Structure 1
Amino acid sequence: MIVELGHFALVLAALVACIQMIVPMVGAARRWPGWMAVAVPAATAQFVLVAASFAALTYAFVTSDFSLRLVVLNSHTAKPMLYKVSGVWGNHEGSMLLWVLILALFGACAAWFGANLKPSLKARVLAVQASISVAFYAFILATSNPFTRLATPPMNGEDLNPLLQDPGLAFHPPFLYLGYVGLSMAFSFAVAALIEGRVDAAWGRWVRPWTLAAWIFLTIGIGLGSWWAYYELGWGGFWFWDPVENASFMPWLLAAALLHSAIVVEKREALKSWTILLAIMAFGFSLIGTFLVRSGVITSVHAFANDPERGVFILFILAVFMGGALTLFAARAGAMQAKGVFAMISRESALVANNVLLAVSAFVVFVGTIWPLLAELAFGRKLSVGAPFFDAAFTPFIVALTAILPIGAMLPWKRGNLTRTMQPLWGVLALSLAGGALVWVMQTGGSMLAPVGFTLATWVTLGALTDLWSRTGRGGLSGRVRRLRNLPGADWGKTIAHIGLAVTVFGISGLTAWESEDIRVAQIGERFGHAGYEIELRDVLRVPGPNYVATLATMAVWRDGKEVAVLHPEKRVYPVAQMPTTEAGIDNGILRDVYLVIGDPQEGGGYAVRTYIKPFANWIWAGCIIMGLGGIASLSDRRYRVAAGARKRATGVTGVPAE
């Protein structure tokens, strides 16, 4: 009964979304207040209905209702409760239901917190958001219904993909979806502004918190996915440049560009056309990611489906929304004239450079991701584009971005003086270069990656702190500290996020340059050395788990004659899915990780053992956390929550949160 109610609620949500798509849009065109007002209750009702539908599907998984096809394919009675719940979205159909739930949530939030929006703009934003929902409701109900029943239910299910039975992967998809779908709000605001024919400072201020929220969720989601790949897959890496990894990374890059571009619109009413285009493309790349994951055109451990029919449907959605938005953009581009002019040396120019580097780097990732598909279609050749291409093509853009970041952040608006801006940064530059030279000397030659990474990380970190301190003005220390505490959340958020980027850059460069690897066959009781550590394989046991059987090793790690850790790497086999997984044993540290993997027993006795020493590995995810905290600090800025100022109302600017 509950499942049927969930199915009915999903159909009803689709009908409400159709009303929300049509009635407010017509009302805005005809200036009918009553019709425009329909948007808010419709958005609320749609969210309540799809939330009820999602709750019904969750109930089916928790209670192991094997009359439901989706539960049979993705659950099992022996599975731990966490993975019964995560099984709801650990498959194609359930993940699409989560997708429309988040779409409805963002639309409802815009309805609830958009009291300061001009009624016609608000109606159009919610109508555009509903149109996206309608497309995905049609996709779910036509090709991916999660409530399909089985005529003869089995006694038990086929279990969830063992790779997804992990805490990191339980929460990774929801965060990614919050980021992917969050960008739909920026898209809806862009299309609504194009329909109205007006983009101004108030629009830039309103679109920033939505983009920022999506960027935060993407940062957390990508970080969780990278962390999971690091400890779960047993290959010792943190990023494989897998097509599905890239599918989440490209919207992240474009969302970062959009955040910075919207600042220029808000502060200077410049870069309007470019900002609108970024909002369209950021969500467009989210849809491209959806297509890659669900069409079957790529093979990946991240992929949800292998169904060309579904892929064609998603491709149609992508074509309709991107084609329609870009056509509207072309028709309205002439109306979005920039008001603010600026010199070549100015903060606006620095933000333009920032945007160009981020956008081109996203395009480079896109080309590397899609080229094997194009080559196979056009030339019938199977090609592989891997880490060497991405490392060589992507890295220069990040180096350039981090190099200009502290200078651009301190340049004044409209017109700046590079000599004056550099005055407080010369010492920072000298200290950064000296630190890089010291790292070069200490590593006794070798790769330049780590010294360059340390130099750039120090430059960005100290530059961000210098910028923050410069905002306290002049005077005594106590006064400047007091003003420092009273700085807006956006200033603190920018500094924290930039420091997080620096930490991640150094973590990646240090790990890549200095990690070491040892692969051997080890006998039980044998002790061997690697990179200043001694590893002892003490025992190997077969241990039953809740729904798997594990080969569990006990391995001691020694340093300078002292035991520093006892690790338990595992190799698990899930009998129902007939699939193995690897659980690395990791001794985490601030400066290094000791990373051990147990392999298969060998014919001559012993076990295959892989040992990695990974310097600064945890700095990568620490940087992601710091970037996320910076985004949260910016989002807490009260200027995003107060009403539009009377000055902007008087000039006829659309009412949104303003300073």
Structure 2
Amino acid sequence: MLNELGHFALILALAVAIVQTVVPLIGAHRRWPGWMAVAEPAANAQFLLIAFSFAALTHAFVTSDFSLRLVMQNSHSLKPMLYKITGVWGNHEGSMLLWVLIVALFGASAAWFGGALPSTLKARVIAVQGAIGVAFLAFLIFTSNPFLRLAEPPLDGNDLNPLLQDPGLAFHPPFLYLGYVGLSMAFSFAVAALIEGRVDAAWGRWVRPWTLAAWVFLTIGIALGSWWAYYELGWGGFWFWDPVENASFMPWLIAAALLHSAIVVEKRESLKSWTILLAIVAFGFSLIGAFITRSGIITSVHAFATDPERGVFLLWITAIFMGGALTLFAARAEALSSRGVFSLVSRESMLVLNNILLAVAAFVVFVGTIWPLISELAFDRKLSVGEPFFNMAFTPFFVGLGLALPVGAMMAWKRAKLGRVMRQLMPAMILAVAVLALVFALQTGRSALGPIGLMLGTWLVAGAATDLWARTGRSGAGRLLRLPRNDYGRVTAHAGLGVTVAGIAAMLAWQSEDIRVMQEGDSLTLAGYDITLDSVERIQGPNYISTTGHVTLSRNGREIGQLNPEKRFYPVARMPTTEAGIDNGIMRDVYVVIGDPQDAGGWAFRSYVKPLANWIWGGAILMAIGGALSLSDRRYRVAAGARRTPTPNKGQGVPAE
């Protein structure tokens, strides 16, 4: 009965979403307060209905209700409770239900926290968010119903994909979806502003916290996925330039550009057209990501569905929303004229440069991701675009961004003096160059990637510290505690980027690797570490069988730790997985993997020493903390300061209420 109620709640949510879309838009156009007021209760009702439906599906997974086809295909009675719950979104239908739940959550959040928004803008934002809900609820109900019943339920299920039965990947999709779908709010604000015919400083302030929240969630989601790939897949890497990885990275890049561009709109009322376009494109890349993972055009552990019919439906959703928004953008171009003027040497100019580099970097990733598909469809040629292309094409733009970031952060608005800024940054520059020279002197016969990466990371971290200190003025350390949280958030995020860059460079440049067959009792020496395979045993897990190696790690005759790499086999799914044994450290990871038994005896055994590996995810954590600090600043909370009614430009359309 609960399953039927969950299904009915989804259908009712679709009807409510249609009302949420149509009635407030008409009310805002006609200036009918009663019709505009429908937006808030409709958004709340849609969220509550979808939340009930999601709870009903979760209950089915927790209780192992195999009368639901989705539970049968993605769960098992012996599965640990954590993975029963995460099995809800570890499949196509359940993940789409999570998607529409988050769409409704953001729509309801606009109702809860948008009290200071002009009534017409608020109604239109919630209505556009409702339209997104209509599209994806229709997709869910008509092509991906999670509540389909089985006429003859089996005694047990087929189990969840073993690769997804991991704590890191359990929390990766919710954070990723909060980022993906969170960008729908920036899209809704952009479309609502285009309908009204006005983009001003207040709009820039309203859209920033929503974009910032989405960017923070996306940062956490990408970092969790990268961390999972590092320790779970056993290949020793953290990023493969997989099409689905790229599908999350492209919105992250565009959202970062949108955050910086919105600052210019807020402070100087410039870059209006560009900011609106970024808001549309950021959500557009999220839709493209949904299409890539659910259309069957790729084969990946990240891919949820292989049904082309679903892919066509998603393609229509993308075309309608992107095409409609871009058409409206073209029609309203005259209303997006900028007021502010600025010199070539100014913070505005540096933010423009920042935007260009981020946008071009995202375009490079997009071309590399989509080109094999275009080549196969248009030219009937199978091509593979991998790591070498992305490293060569993407890296120069990101290096340029890293070099420009500390300089731009310290420039004055409208007109700045480059010499003065560079004098302030001179200690940071000297430190970065010193690190470059030192690393070059210490390494022999290696590539320039490591020294340049550490130099760039040092430049970003030291530049962020210099930026923070410069804002204290003559007050010195006493003013540090009185600085706005937004300042702390910005420098923390910039420093986090520097830490990540240094970690990536060091790991790629200086990693040591050894691959061999090892017997019990064998030892090897790698980068000064002694690694001994003491024994191998077979262990029965809750729903898997594990071949577990017991490894002793020592250095200079002193034991450092015990590692337990595993090769697991899941009998129900008939799939193996790899669990790496990792000795984590601030300056390095020692990483070992046990493979299959060999015909001549022994086991395949891989070992790595990875310098600064944890800096990659430590930097991502710092970036997320920086975003959260900025979001907590009272000046940039949702609709803060929005009660100030700006004076519209001549010909800008209807003024705000």
Regarding TM over 0.5, the answer is yes
Provide the residue aligned with 1:364 in structure 2. 364
Structure 2 counterpart of 1:508, from 496, 504, 518: 504
TM normalised by structure 1 equals: 0.98
Provide the residue aligned with 1:548 in structure 2. 544
Aligned counterparts, 1:304-315, within 5 A: 304-315=304-315
CA contact (8 A) 2:206 2:640 kept: no
Determine helix, strand or coil for the equivalent of 2:474. coil
Aligned counterparts, 1:121-132, within 5 A: 121-132=121-132
Provide the residue aligned with 2:153 in structure 1. 153
Q: Please report how far the alpha carbon of residue 641 of structure 1 lies from its aligned counterpart in structure 2 after TM superposition.
A: 3.6
CA distance in 1, matches of 2:292, 2:428: 43
Offset from partner CA, 1:481-529 (integer Å, 9 cap, x none): 2321111111110000000000000000000000011000111111222
Provide the residue aligned with 1:580 in structure 2. 576
Determine helix, strand or coil for the equivalent of 2:332. helix
One-letter identity of the residue aligned with 2:574:
Q
One-letter identity of the residue aligned with 2:350:
A
One-letter identity of the residue aligned with 1:328:
L
Decide whether aligned partners of structure 1 residues 203 and 530 sit closer, same or farther in structure 2, where only a CA change above 3 A counts. Answer: same
- The answer to whether 1:101 aligns with 2:101 is yes
Provide the residue aligned with 1:558 in structure 2. 554
Q: Please report how far the alpha carbon of residue 603 of structure 1 lies from its aligned counterpart in structure 2 after TM superposition.
A: 1.1
CA contact (8 A) 1:644 1:655 kept: no
One-letter identity of the residue aligned with 1:498:
H
- The answer to whether 1:217 aligns with 2:213 is no
Provide the residue aligned with 2:112 in structure 1. 112
Structure 1 counterpart of 2:591, from 589, 592, 595: 595
Provide the residue aligned with 1:470 in structure 2. 470
Aligned counterparts, 1:242-257, within 5 A: 242-257=242-257
Q: Please report how far the alpha carbon of residue 651 of structure 1 lies from its aligned counterpart in structure 2 after TM superposition.
A: 3.4
CA distance in 2, matches of 1:645, 1:239: 41
Runs of 4+ in 1 over 2 A off after TM superposition: 640-656
One-letter identity of the residue aligned with 1:561:
G
CA distance in 2, matches of 1:59, 1:450: 50
| Structure 1 range deviating more: 136-145 or 465-474 | 465-474
Provide the residue aligned with 2:19 in structure 1. 19
Aligned counterparts, 1:36-435, within 5 A: 36-435=36-435
One-letter identity of the residue aligned with 2:603:
Y
- The answer to whether 1:521 aligns with 2:517 is yes
Offset from partner CA, 1:342-383 (integer Å, 9 cap, x none): 000000000000000000000000000000000001110110
Unaligned runs of 5+ in 2: 650-654
Provide the residue aligned with 1:453 in structure 2. 453
Determine helix, strand or coil for the equivalent of 1:604. coil
TM normalised by structure 2 equals: 0.98
Q: Please report how far the alpha carbon of residue 554 of structure 1 lies from its aligned counterpart in structure 2 after TM superposition.
A: 0.5
Q: Please report how far the alpha carbon of residue 136 of structure 1 lies from its aligned counterpart in structure 2 after TM superposition.
A: 0.4
| Structure 1 range deviating more: 463-472 or 356-365 | 463-472
CA distance in 1, matches of 2:460, 2:454: 10
CA contact (8 A) 2:72 2:156 kept: yes
CA distance in 2, matches of 1:453, 1:324: 42
Q: Please report how far the alpha carbon of residue 412 of structure 1 lies from its aligned counterpart in structure 2 after TM superposition.
A: 0.4
Q: Please report how far the alpha carbon of residue 333 of structure 1 lies from its aligned counterpart in structure 2 after TM superposition.
A: 1.0
Determine helix, strand or coil for the equivalent of 2:85. helix
Decide whether aligned partners of structure 1 residues 646 and 439 sit closer, same or farther in structure 2, where only a CA change above 3 A counts. Answer: closer
CA contact (8 A) 1:596 1:611 kept: yes
CA distance in 2, matches of 1:365, 1:3: 42
Offset from partner CA, 1:123-157 (integer Å, 9 cap, x none): 00000000000000110011000000001100000
CA distance in 1, matches of 2:234, 2:222: 18
Offset from partner CA, 1:411-431 (integer Å, 9 cap, x none): 100011111111111222112
Determine helix, strand or coil for the equivalent of 1:344. coil
CA contact (8 A) 1:121 1:192 kept: yes
CA contact (8 A) 2:182 2:211 kept: yes
One-letter identity of the residue aligned with 2:166:
D
CA contact (8 A) 2:62 2:81 kept: yes
CA distance in 1, matches of 2:523, 2:280: 58
One-letter identity of the residue aligned with 2:213:
A
Q: Please report how far the alpha carbon of residue 100 of structure 1 lies from its aligned counterpart in structure 2 after TM superposition.
A: 0.3
Q: Please report how far the alpha carbon of residue 652 of structure 1 lies from its aligned counterpart in structure 2 after TM superposition.
A: 6.0
One-letter identity of the residue aligned with 1:425:
L
Q: Please report how far the alpha carbon of residue 655 of structure 1 lies from its aligned counterpart in structure 2 after TM superposition.
A: 7.3
CA contact (8 A) 1:554 1:567 kept: yes
Determine helix, strand or coil for the equivalent of 1:455. helix
One-letter identity of the residue aligned with 1:488:
P
One-letter identity of the residue aligned with 2:487:
D
Decide whether aligned partners of structure 1 residues 528 and 445 sit closer, same or farther in structure 2, where only a CA change above 3 A counts. Answer: closer
CA distance in 1, matches of 2:621, 2:656: 34
Q: Please report how far the alpha carbon of residue 562 of structure 1 lies from its aligned counterpart in structure 2 after TM superposition.
A: 1.0
Q: Please report how far the alpha carbon of residue 217 of structure 1 lies from its aligned counterpart in structure 2 after TM superposition.
A: 0.3
Decide whether aligned partners of structure 1 residues 624 and 651 sit closer, same or farther in structure 2, where only a CA change above 3 A counts. Answer: same
Decide whether aligned partners of structure 1 residues 642 and 17 sit closer, same or farther in structure 2, where only a CA change above 3 A counts. Answer: closer
One-letter identity of the residue aligned with 2:606:
R
Q: Please report how far the alpha carbon of residue 394 of structure 1 lies from its aligned counterpart in structure 2 after TM superposition.
A: 0.5
CA distance in 2, matches of 1:450, 1:193: 46
Aligned counterparts, 1:531-546, within 5 A: 531-546=527-542
One-letter identity of the residue aligned with 1:493:
G
Q: How many residue pairs are counted as aligned between the two chains? A: 652
CA distance in 2, matches of 1:158, 1:279: 41
One-letter identity of the residue aligned with 1:388:
P
CA contact (8 A) 2:631 2:637 kept: no
Offset from partner CA, 1:223-242 (integer Å, 9 cap, x none): 00000000000000000000
Provide the residue aligned with 1:621 in structure 2. 617
Determine helix, strand or coil for the equivalent of 1:534. strand
Determine helix, strand or coil for the equivalent of 1:517. strand
One-letter identity of the residue aligned with 2:607:
T
Offset from partner CA, 1:622-657 (integer Å, 9 cap, x none): 00000000000000001124876599326369879x
Offset from partner CA, 1:100-128 (integer Å, 9 cap, x none): 00000000000111011110000000000
CA RMSD of aligned residues (A): 1.3
CA contact (8 A) 2:402 2:456 kept: yes
Provide the residue aligned with 2:652 in structure 1. none
CA distance in 2, matches of 1:331, 1:445: 58
One-letter identity of the residue aligned with 1:60:
A
CA distance in 2, matches of 1:603, 1:194: 68
Determine helix, strand or coil for the equivalent of 1:340. coil
CA distance in 2, matches of 1:523, 1:461: 45
CA distance in 2, matches of 1:551, 1:525: 16
| Structure 1 range deviating more: 416-425 or 281-290 | 416-425
Provide the residue aligned with 2:439 in structure 1. 439
CA distance in 1, matches of 2:160, 2:646: 58
One-letter identity of the residue aligned with 1:492:
Y
Offset from partner CA, 1:441-475 (integer Å, 9 cap, x none): 11134211111111111111111111111111114
One-letter identity of the residue aligned with 1:584:
A
Determine helix, strand or coil for the equivalent of 1:474. helix
CA distance in 2, matches of 1:91, 1:621: 26
Offset from partner CA, 1:205-234 (integer Å, 9 cap, x none): 000000000000000000000000000000
CA contact (8 A) 1:461 1:499 kept: yes
Unaligned runs of 5+ in 1: none
Offset from partner CA, 1:582-614 (integer Å, 9 cap, x none): 000000011111100001111111111001110
Provide the residue aligned with 2:9 in structure 1. 9
